[in-house]
Amino acid sequence: MRILYYDWDEFNGEDCRDAMRRLGHQVDVVKLDLKGYDVTPFMEASLKTFLDKKENGRRYYDLMFSFDYYPNFSEVCNKYSVPYISWVFDCPHYTLDSSTTNNSNNRIFVFDKMLHEYMREKGINTINYSPLGVNEKRLSDLCNKIDAENNGQIIYKHDVCFLGSLYDNEYNFYDQVRYLPPDLKEYIDIVIKMQEKVFGQDLFTDEKVITDAHIDNLLKYISFEKDPKDQMDYRRVIRDILRKKVTVNERRNILTQMGRYFNTVLYTMPGSKPIDNVQNLGQAEYLEQMPRVFRSSKVNLNITLRSILSGVPLRVLDIMAAGGFVITDYHKEITEYFEDGKDLVIAYTPEDMIEKTAYYLEHDKERMDIAQKGREKVYEKFSYMKLLSGILG
């Protein structure tokens, strides 16, 4: 199969292309300087060179592929009758609300079953489900390299580690709202506090907690630049703003508690506000530094971005594939794929996460056995080689 791959310098693109080629596909890369998501004459002309190409009277490329969904690619591929496959790893990803998503040439894959169900209920028939993946060959080779460097031993540098964004920056949109009526703000803040205490249950879709009337009230005070081409559900956007605020609070609160009890480090974006007793070691490069961090940390934490309602976050897979031990907050799909206490460890409340961290820091063999079994499970179930076979068809 000949694949035209749009490379936007996404961190996992090299891994995916490597797996495609190991599956026997020809992968040609295209890069474009896009100006938003509209079809421009330059963009269409650039793609036309590839999509119109023929060999022996037959279309040269079998499909176009990208991570995340680009409405303009869909439109151009539709025009030239080329299948367009997109694999969405961002959540939320609002280009899925584009009017182009039902173009017949699309095959869109999302990793969250609740998002898949939501899109299907909206009548989007091109949406499919697939969990996210890892490059098991690269990570296996890297783990072997690390083991050789350490004479077959695991050398730990950190007791507790969290690698991820704190979102305490311009992306924390809730704190940028200048005014809400006091009674509305008080109620929303109470729900945010309640949500922080509960893993795996989304209060913002519970009509007994947050009604459409609450959301409509918030929309009176939070405005958006609306694109007439999209079909965006702004009620969902509001709910995602609240979910991100919960994520901001709980990541800081959990890490603050971790810092009180354990040797805790944080790898995150520049400009994040400091957390007492937690050492911020900056960003970690994805391909080599990040797996080394996971492998050299006794306990890796996963505190999921709350807009991921049910899916397995890529962070969980990345930790396990590097041979790292992970304690994650509860998510429905995690329990569908992994066994708690065997492949990884699941926490059901923030307090449970603290208690289990303390336990596994004191039980080295249990922790290491779980990490090894988890690594084997991820290689077996979540390798790009396995998943791409179904996605590419």
pLDDT in tens, the chain (393 residues): 999 999 999 999 999 999 999 999 999 999 998 888 889 999 999 999 999 999 998 999 999 999 999 999 999 999 999 999 999 999 999 999 999 999 999 999 999 999 999 999 999 999 999 999 999 999 999 999 999 999 988 899 999 999 999 998 777 889 888 899 999 999 999 999 999 999 999 999 999 999 999 999 999 998 887 766 667 889 999 999 999 999 999 999 999 999 999 999 999 998 899 999 999 999 999 999 999 999 999 999 999 999 999 999 999 999 999 999 999 999 999 999 999 999 999 999 999 999 999 999 999 999 999 999 999 999 999 999 999 999 998
Nearest to residue 287, comparing CAs of 145, 92, 386? 145
Question: How close are the terminal C-alpha atoms of the chain, in Å?
Answer: 10
Amino acid (1-letter code) at residue 34 = L
Exposed/middle/buried for residue 14 (C-beta within 10 Å: 0-12, 13-18, 19+): middle
> Which residue, chain included where needed, has tokens 């269409």?
44
pLDDT, position 228 = 66
Residues 87, 107: Cα–Cα separation, whole Å: 9
Q: Give, to the nearest 10 degrees, the angle between helix 13-22 and helix 384-392.
A: 80
Beta bridge partners of 87: 67, 109
Residues 115, 128: Cα–Cα separation, whole Å: 10
Run of H or E including 77: helix 71-79
pLDDT, position 169 = 75
Residues 178, 176: Cα–Cα separation, whole Å: 6
Residues 130, 381: Cα–Cα separation, whole Å: 11
Kindly report whether the peptide bond that precedes residue 92 is cis, defined as omega within 30 degrees of 0.
yes
pLDDT, position 341 = 98
129 half-sphere exposure, CB direction, 13 A CA radius: 13
Q: For residue 167, what are the contacts with CB-CB under 8 A and spacing of at least 6? A: 244, 247, 248, 251, 305
Contact yes or no for 367/350 (Cβ under 8 A): no
**pLDDT tens-digit readout, 19-69:** 999 999 999 999 998 888 889 999 999 999 999 999 998 999 999 999 999
Q: Answer yes or no: CATH 3.40.50.1100 is held by domain 2-130.
A: no
Task: Provide CATH 3.40.50.2000 ranges for the chain.
Answer: 2-130, 136-384
The CATH number assigned to the domain with range 136-384 reads 3.40.50.2000
> What φ, ψ does residue 194 adopt, rounded to 5°?
-60, -45
pLDDT, position 172 = 81
